[in-house]
């Protein structure tokens, strides 16, 4: 019998889900997907989960523990999705689970202030001192939406600059050329977004400071903010060019616009203070002053797997939010005590040893996948940003790397489909889109890593043999 890490045996999982799906002899993912499509649009609650770009039936998960997830059929996989980032410590860390259970025992939701949300805000500020004030919300989309509204309220301007390939949640004005699930579905934006809303967004090529300078030269008095992923990971991992984020700070400050650094994905995952902390440490080691944005948005790790996100920044800006200022934002479940307990426990447990292990595993796997693809003769580039990494396929990527969305879209995406399914067949769960980052956790021990390493050669050969559809 296979131990599923405290959730019972694989056979028990199968029996439980057989009852759920009404299938004698065990549930399966296809049956789950068919049933889901009868009630959920596309059979999922978030588009990329539908396996649209890789094909096949999505795996419906029943449990997770440490570096592993188990599907409804009772099959276990090494997980390199990690809930798209939050599982920094691994799934179902016992101390995080205990914190959630204790909080839940006192009540699931109050709609009133709690000390837990104060403590979480203080922990965020301890790690990112520039976040003098913190507003807790429930999702990354809420965080970026709030940051944009706040920037407009503070500046009295309407236009927002974003970069092609950067994803900031499904806020109307920020969906244009948004990468991630939108890129996977080959959609230029989204139906339901009005022309008037779209007209308030300028979309520029990423890593192109000259384009930013030109936009501000033409419309600087109209621009409320520039929003950017601290290090993009929604068109694959595409790190900022040297000096790019600093340049954005310089340009926005010169024109009275705000700089919003979106760390929903990188915040507290790539390091104790997120990408901003890593980048500033490097800059200061080189004798530079570093830079500080006007606003940060956080999510993923800050909730430890529960729905928590946050906006942070200096008091002079953040205090423009209601009830102190004129910029309104509210949420019944904001600062939910159970969710806050998960986030606070996760951040308190995320010490130097955790980040060191995540960096180590990321380094081993990113190097090994590159070696396997080299051995199979597959042109590619593995790109990293801290512990985040992804594979870009094709000669263009291999020769010069990928610096922006257009280059990310130009890669040989068809190779990822074959690579993905070969890994899945070998018991390794990768992100079901070439436009997503790979994640590891501190719970990925040597056994889990070995299983991934063993799967790479066959997956690389599958990628080599793949042909365009």
Q: Known catalytic residues?
A: 167, 262, 300
Angstrom distances, CA of residue 93 to CA of 61, 82, 104, 305: 17, 12, 16, 11
Q: Which of 83, 58, 48, 56 is nearest to 184 (CA)?
A: 48
Give bridge partners of residue 133 from the DSSP assignment.
313
- For the record, the structure tokens of 329 come out as 């934002």
Chain centroid offset of residue 310 CA? 14
Closest CA to 91 of 78, 101, 104: 78
Gap between the terminal Cα atoms of the chain: 40
CA separation for the pair 12, 437 (Å, rounded):
33
* Residue 40 vs residues 33, 46, 313, 361: alpha-carbon distances, Å: 10, 10, 37, 36
Phi, psi (deg, nearest 5) at residue 208: -125, 90
CB atoms under 10 Å from CB of 337, counted, come to 20
Helices then strands, counting H and E runs in the chain, come out as 17, 13
Sheet of 133-137: strand order equals: 133-137, 309-313, 295-298, 258-263, 223-229, 159-163, 201-204
- The string over 392-409, giving b where at least 16 C-beta atoms fall within 10 Å of a residue's C-beta and e elsewhere, is bbbebbbeeebbbbebbb
Q: What is the chain's length?
A: 469
Q: Which residues pair with 66 in a beta bridge?
A: 91
Cross-strand partners of 260: 227, 295
């Amino acid at each position: 019998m296979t131990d599923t890490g405290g959730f019972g045996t694989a056979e028990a999982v199968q029996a439980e889900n057989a009852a759920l799906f009404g299938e004698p002899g065990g549930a399966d993912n296809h049956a789950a997907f068919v049933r889901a499509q009868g009630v959920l649009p596309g059979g999922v609650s978030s588009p990329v989960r539908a396996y649209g770009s890789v094909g096949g039936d999505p795996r419906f998960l029943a449990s997770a523990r440490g570096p592993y997830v188990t599907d409804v059929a009772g099959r276990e996989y090494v997980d390199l999705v990690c809930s798209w980032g939050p599982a920094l410590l691994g799934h179902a860390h016992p101390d995080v689970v205990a914190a959630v259970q204790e909080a839940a025992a006192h009540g699931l939701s109050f709609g009133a202030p709690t000390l837990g949300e104060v403590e979480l805000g203080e922990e965020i500020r301890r790690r990112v001192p520039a976040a003098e004030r913190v507003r807790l919300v429930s999702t990354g989309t809420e965080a970026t939406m709030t940051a944009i509204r706040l920037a407009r309220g503070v500046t009295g301007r309407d236009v927002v600059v974003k970069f092609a390939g950067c994803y900031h949640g499904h806020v109307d004005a920020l969906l244009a050329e948004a990468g991630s699930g939108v890129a996977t579905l080959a959609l230029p934006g989204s139906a339901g977004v009005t022309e008037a809303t779209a007209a308030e967004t300028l979309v520029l090529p990423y890593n192109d400071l000259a384009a930013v300078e030109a936009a501000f030269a033409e419309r600087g008095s109209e621009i409320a903010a520039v929003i950017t992923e601290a290090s993009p990971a929604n068109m694959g991992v595409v790190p900022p060019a040297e000096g790019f984020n600093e340049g954005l700070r310089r340009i926005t400050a010169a024109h009275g616009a705000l700089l919003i650094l979106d760390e929903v994905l990188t915040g507290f995952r790539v390091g104790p203070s997120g990408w901003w902390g890593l980048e500033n440490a490097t800059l200061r080691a080189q004798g530079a002053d570093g830079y500080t944005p006007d606003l940060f948005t956080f999510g993923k790790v800050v909730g430890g797997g529960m729905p928590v996100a946050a906006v942070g920044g200096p008091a002079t800006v953040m205090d423009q939010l209601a009830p102190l200022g004129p910029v309104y934002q509210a949420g019944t479940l904001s600062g939910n005590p159970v969710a806050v307990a998960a986030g606070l426990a996760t951040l308190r447990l995320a010490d130097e040893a955790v980040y060191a292990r995540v960096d180590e595993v990321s380094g081993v796997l990113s190097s090994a996948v590159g070696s396997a693809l080299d051995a199979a003769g597959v042109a590619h580039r593995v790109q990293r940003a801290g512990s985040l990494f992804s594979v870009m396929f094709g000669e263009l990527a291999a020769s010069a790397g990928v610096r922006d969305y257009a280059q990310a879209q130009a890669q040989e995406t068809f190779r990822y489909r074959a690579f993905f399914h070969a890994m899945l067949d070998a018991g390794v769960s990768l992100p079901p889109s070439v436009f997503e980052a790979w994640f590891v956790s501190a719970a990925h021990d040597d056994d889990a890593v070995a299983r991934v390493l063993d799967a790479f050669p066959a997956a690389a050969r599958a990628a080599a043999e793949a042909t365009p559809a």
